[in-house]
Structure 1
């Protein structure tokens, strides 16, 4: 594991403005290193998803700064942030958000097409390889509606891996899965960390899954209450 931090969160707060401002997270300081598997836990409304969206550049802090590979992401313009999301970050959500008009293969190819730099045959070859790594190669030509929940989530993970991101951010990725498929998803995350050296940050309310991570961060009322 490299010594240089991959992500640094410095004095970050996120407040929704309005007649009665709502604080989502406050005074967050956090260092994430390469190859870590982190579970974020806490009660509903504690700020877990808000923190994940800030880490994923899907939202911006009201104060403080978030550094990714040494770059202050709060100083980037929207186009630069979008490029960083596409090239450095992969997302997996509770609801897989696969595009129903595309096959499994087509869904995995989308991020690579958006990023550019590869021709269509290279993109298809890499997409098929990713599906193969997740034991989904025989489902490449199936539409999402032809897949089970666990199969859809594996396609979503393959899509998240399409551009070889440094960080996988997963928001309740097992929330709609039975215990067997939920464990399979966590086994995939562990393999990504152990074999690829990727960093995985996952929100989960299932403590038996969270305990499989290297590190657990507990949020309460928008604050980090525990990190260990």
Structure 2
């Protein structure tokens, strides 16, 4: 039996306060290799909270999260950080690129944190990823010199920097227009279909969710539906650039 890449076992997250708030309620699910998963639900349903728990950005109050079969409950922060850096890539709605750094330096940040490559190899891999994403002419610019869609592609390049098997995306198209949204969706789809990644994306866009291979719906912190969909087709015309062979850059 294949080990899930991510598994949640009876996970609950309660936010303490004068009136405690339950963000996630007794969620159990597993996510395997090459899955393209949408997490949807109304505002306040626990979508992002669940994603942060799956990505070890937050800790459950009850239950546990396993990463590639490894329990994480007793990891210290250093071990959790190392697991995030090596196994998980993150893309957020507001990209969180550092404005004082160039695009190239933003992509190098996860590699520097992991500390497994030489400076030259980090630069070469970052440049290769940006070229594959159609950003070769922008790598020495700062984020505020790019469009929203370009900044989000930089965020995807940064998420891929350490070659993680899993990409977790929180509303990755939420701040983009329809054209840029379609391009980002197709890029995530390409990561699954052509490069064997697993992508789990929180989205409020039901049109996108219905085009993903699996659709998990939350309500009041609980999973109320978990459905498989038919094969996914791209939303836009094929791009001239591709992430093809991005994994062949220096490692």
TM-score interval for Structure 1 and Structure 2 normalised by the shorter chain: over 0.9
Inter-partner Cα distance in structure 1 for 2:119 and 2:188: 28
The runs of at least 4 consecutive aligned structure 1 residues that moved more than 3 Å come to none
CA displacement, residues 155-197 of structure 1 (integer Å, 9 cap, x when unaligned) = 0110011001111111011111000000100100010001111
TM-score (norm 2): 0.89
- Equivalence for 1:207: 206
Inter-partner Cα distance in structure 2 for 1:212 and 1:142: 34
- Equivalence for 1:218: 217
CA displacement, residues 24-49 of structure 1 (integer Å, 9 cap, x when unaligned) = 00110001001100000000000000
Structure 2, unmatched stretches of 5+, are 228-251
Structure 1, unmatched stretches of 5+, are none
Aligned pairs for 1:16-55 (under 5 A) are 16-55=15-54
- Equivalence for 1:196: 195
SS of structure 1 residue aligned to 2:173? coil
SS of structure 2 residue aligned to 1:79? helix
SS of structure 2 residue aligned to 1:151? helix
SS of structure 2 residue aligned to 1:187? helix
Equivalences, count: 227
SS of structure 1 residue aligned to 2:172? coil
- Equivalence for 1:187: 186
- 1:4 is displaced (CA, Å) by 2.2
- Equivalence for 1:111: 110
- 1:140 is displaced (CA, Å) by 0.7
- Equivalence for 1:95: 94
- 1:53 is displaced (CA, Å) by 0.5
TM-score (norm 1): 0.98
- 1:127 is displaced (CA, Å) by 0.3
